[in-house]
Structure 1
Amino acid sequence: TLQVEATDKAGNTITRMLEFTIDTTLTTPTIALDHKDDSGITGDNLTNAKKPGFILGNIDVDASRVVVQVTHDGKSEEVALTKSGGQWSFTPTAPWGDGSYTLTVTVEDKAGNVSHSAPLTVTVDTQTAINSIALVNDTGIPDDNLTNAVRPHFRVTVPDDVNAVRLSIDGGKTWVDAKRTSAGVWDYSWLTDVTEGVHTLTVEATDVAGNTVKETM
């Protein structure tokens, strides 16, 4: 509180008070991928959401300006945010394409202090694939999917980020897990005899972002 006293030549005195605040600090904000959009492995900042949500933290109550900067493919844009429902958050208005995005939050308070969050890089991955399915012990004419082996051996090739491959020959009622034998290659040999006749193999692959794809042979 500042107190000012003024006296004129006649000896009259007046006093005035002024309250002021010195504010030199601002908390460092944070930004994190919303757990509901953190698909696949928790905490890996991979998502299969095209419009992922982000939660902001450590935003001081006297914040007058909150901006998130999004950088992708060398281009940046800034989005001014407002608090909603007691929470600071950000969700893109338009779908994001696959790729990496770096987000930084900038906060300015009423005193003009500015603070920046650590950059957060997330990867949007909305699709995966099964490149090929092969019957390894295909006997007779090559690639005709005919075999005299009652315990067929299958090989599945997929993108390197696939972390689970499973197979079914009963329409998905039961599944067996293939084993990763090298980068992008998964194998499984049936452990019990398969009855003679035509069978449909269903293969399901899931990548680290949680995307799943199925193919049949």
Structure 2
Amino acid sequence: MSRNIWIITLVISGSILMFGVISNINVGVKSGVESCKLMNLSMYDTCINQLAEQKGKSVCKLVEARMLDDCYLHAAIGDNRPAICQNINADWDKDECFGKVAVLNRNLKSLEYIPNKLNKERWLAKVAIRYNESNYCRLLTDVNIHGECYKTLAKNTENIDYCFAIDIGSIHKEPCFLDLAMLLHDNSICGHMNSLLKGKCMSEVGG
């Protein structure tokens, strides 16, 4: 009998402790929102967004309607949980939320939530560029996005190999060589261009 009483007491004590922890979290969120309300409007928005990144979507229950989408966006980014983006109403804003979670957290699984393939590839290219990850560029099937991804990486890293990775016939291939030639002040790179643009490259780079 005494053992049963001890177990019941332990369970009740644990429940009280858990309630206390949850209450403290809620108090922290509420006090945070109240502190944000003391600021002017522009600072208030920034404050709420930062609070959402730190405390999660519970913050969004305490803000006005105009702030909801931004609040959920920052909560999703802070928690690295793309599912939170589902709370956003407009499809375009929702996809942007998935994309930003992917870019800022290097979370490619977040892109799986984006239904439009082209939009998904645009965000994958942004992830590739942010982290200088050429393997992500290689996954792109849209010729334009694929070429722009490698072209940007080539310029950011000063690596001509990325220009060679661009598909022949892509509008980004020769501008990639031109950018690298000018960036590195190396007119030998102009030799990889066709006769129409080679002269322009040589005159721009010199030599």
| Range of TM-score over shorter length | under 0.3
TM-score (structure 1 length as normaliser): 0.21
The structure in which a higher percent of residues are helix is 2
Q: Which has the higher contact order (CA 8 A, sep 6+)?
A: 1
